[in-house]
Chain A
Amino acid sequence: MFEFLEASKNVLGINERNLVYLRRYNKKRGRKIADDKLLTKKILKKAGILTPEVYGIIRNDKELMNFDWNKLPNSFVIKPKCGTGGAGIIVIFGKSKKTGNWVKADGSQLSVNQLQLHITNILDGTFSLKNKSDFAIIEERVRMHPVFKRYSFRGIPDVRILVFNKVPIMAELRLPTRISGGTANLHAGGVGVGIDMCTGVTTNAILYDNIIDRHPDTNLPLSGIKIPFWTQMLRLAVKAQSYIPLGYMGIDIVVDREKGPMVLEVNARPGLAIQIANLEGLKGRLKRVAGIKVKNIERGIRLAKDLFGGEVEEEIEEISGRQVISTVEYVRFYKIDGTKGPLCKVKIDTGAYLSSIGKDLAFELGYKDAYDYFYSLGFKTVFDDLEEARRVMNEYRKKVARHPDLLGIALAKSSVGVGRELRPLILLNFELSGVKVKSMCTIADRTGLMYRAIIGRSDLKDFLIDPLKKTRKIF
């Protein structure tokens, strides 16, 4: 209990965020800029930071009536100026040649009249904070970078970088989903993925504050995505903070296919769910940066990378050229015909020389025939005496090897009780932590044991084992 409370001190809650970080570091002037997307754009543009281009601004009904819809390009985005949480945003992908209507991301069509009605709603303040009347902005639609194409559903993912005292503190990739309806907002049902600050590679993912492994729509694994232009993004974020007077801010960056990274908007009250996506408390990080004087942008980026990123693990992997694995890992087995088999949690057992898989797993992988052949030869397989076991093994070795799927006989310590045991030896392919392994492995009776297979020393030449590492499903 005491430990729990101690650990919770590193986590930033809403109370403290509001009272300490927003009140103290984010003054009114800065908040006003962040809440006004047009003003933000103007300032960032002056600073030489790329933002999506504005095609038009509609301030009132008269401007709406006089708006020339024909001068717009075929794809654009309509959004309220002071909107929050991605509400009220319409993304137009093109124009239908048949009807002349605008086509939305989901393929449905909107006529000019319907667009006008939507904009009237924006002007009335339906989507703004406290229902105050608002402007509508029509701006460039960002084109998706190919890296993100498979990870998002009808919308552009963005990278939210939290910057405090000119040092990037934490970052997350935000992916639109079917539920979120194309916006990358986490409250609306978007997926948040934590990012390692040093390498720009994603770690854990969350959906509505719950940890997930795969994208809910595309079912692709979410960890291990390398964010393109990572260092450039960090630079943009720190640069944006030096032009907007906010001490603690979130900067949302999108990557355009052609233009590269650009700042979509800045946020004066960034959310706290980013802590769950990164599985680390913000307060611990904020405290470490609080007193530092950061002289220039590059120094801020260096600090972020050194302080908050680069798990040592990766460095070891780079130096040794070997993967660091835990004592329990997920392994993808391949069937005898080369097709993908099941994904199993296995034990990494340095006490054993050969790997061995359970009988039922072997059957699943197509080794039933070989197994049956082995036991149909009718020799004794369990021995108390080592010499006798060796004698039988030598006698039957050639006979066993006649079966195309069998390599021979393996002599192993019995898994059930004392003594020695003869087991069928097979050639098996599996993939562990991204490395393909060709294994000589035995089939054992593993009923009643926790793991369906163990991986022994002979297959672990390309790995280093770290018992403290957490088991992660990366397939």
Chain B
Amino acid sequence: MFAELSKILNPTSLIPEESLIILLSIPVMATLVTVSRHIFGWKGLGVLLPLIMTFSLVSLGIIYGVLISVIASLIAILVRAIIKKVRVHYFSRISIILASICLFLIIIFAIVEAFGLGQVFNLPVLPIVLIIVAEEEFIGEFLKHGSKNAFMLYVETLCISTIGYFLIKWSFYRLFLLNWPFALIFLVIVLNIFVGRWKGLRFIEFYRFRKVIKAEKDKISTESK
């Protein structure tokens, strides 16, 4: 009885290390997104996208992951510009763009492989699929709110995912996670409660409202005079 209980309390002995790290990193990544949104003011694209990107980066390796994502985005921007004038339904537009991304990626992979520039066909395929599917969100943002918004969101998502990647690869984090998995979850919940009740200005709002703050400051100083 006690033996089973102690086993459950120490899941490292039951679940493979890598799975445990990935699983427990989900709430950590979600928290990272929460903090970057509410404290710093980065909008990101929800929790899902940075999560998908992070795990894709982890399993593809940072260089291949970022490269594939950037190439896919560039192709998306290019194809969108080309078919901009064609009047088709929204979903058709997305499908055309996705098709072009797949086509170009396969061609690029083939070229890389043929010239012996890298070992791309050995890469796991699922993370690549995830990256391409994630493109849909960016394209949607592109079509709806314009290129500037979409670009910012893309860069922010990529940044958060890269931070997530380095966090997951950080040995201290891995050790902490494997030794005290429950403490980590507790920490995450406490942090989220704190951030969730945070009412102050976000970092970028200090910049956005700098003129308002200055005007308010002038008002305070003239009132006190």
Contact = CB atoms under 8 A, between A and B. Distances in A.
Contacts of A276: 208-209, 211-212
A14 B202 contact: yes
B14 interface: no
Interface string A1-29: 00110111011011110011000000000
Contacts of A307: none
Interface in B62-121: 87, 89-91
A15 B217 contact: no
A57 interface: no
Contacts of B143: 126
Contacts of A121: 89-90
Interface in B182-225: 197-202, 205-206, 208-209, 211-217, 219-222
Contacts of B219: 7, 280
A179 to B, nearest CB: 10
Interface in A278-310: 279-281, 284
A114 interface: yes
A242 B98 CA distance: 49
B213 A15 contact: no
Contacts of A117: 87
Interface string A101-138: 00000000000001001001100101100010000000
A87 interface: yes
Given A19-B197, A127-B144, A13 B202 contact: yes
Given A121-B90, A124-B89, A275-B212, A7 B201 contact: no
B216 A15 contact: no
Contacts of B206: 8
A127 B145 CA distance: 10
A419 interface: no
A4 B87 CA distance: 51
Interface in B29-48: 38, 41
Nearest to B149: A187
Contacts of A10: 216
Contact of A6 (B144, B145, B200, B220): B220
A151 B145 CA distance: 25
| Prevailing SS type, chain B contact patch | helix
A297 to B, nearest CB: 29
A87 B201 CA distance: 28
Contact of A126 (B90, B205, B208): B90
A445 interface: no
Given A15-B38, A121-B89, A7 B220 contact: yes
B196 to A, nearest CB: 8
B136 to A, nearest CB: 11
A4 B217 contact: yes
Contact of B201 (A11, A131, A279, A284): A11
Given A8-B213, A276-B212, A124 B90 contact: yes
A209 B213 contact: no
A280 B90 CA distance: 41
Interface in A23-62: none
Contact of B212 (A87, A279, A468): A279
Contacts of A280: 212, 215-216, 219
A211 interface: yes
B200 A15 contact: yes
Contacts of A19: 197, 199
A287 to B, nearest CB: 13
A85 interface: yes
B202 A279 contact: no
A191 B143 CA distance: 22
Contact of B213 (A11, A16, A124): A11
Nearest to A118: B87
A124 B216 contact: no
A117 B221 CA distance: 58
14 contacts: A7-B213, A8-B201, A10-B216, A11-B201, A13-B202, A15-B38, A114-B87, A120-B89, A124-B90, A124-B91, A126-B143, A275-B212, A279-B212, A280-B215
Interface of B: 38, 41, 87, 89-91, 140, 143-145, 197-202, 205-206, 208-209, 211-217, 219-222
Closest 5 CB pairs of A and B: A7-B217, A13-B201, A7-B216, A279-B215, A16-B199
Given A14-B41, A85-B145, A124-B89, 13 more contacts: A6-B220, A8-B216, A11-B201, A15-B202, A19-B197, A87-B144, A87-B145, A121-B89, A126-B90, A187-B145, A276-B211, A281-B209, A281-B213
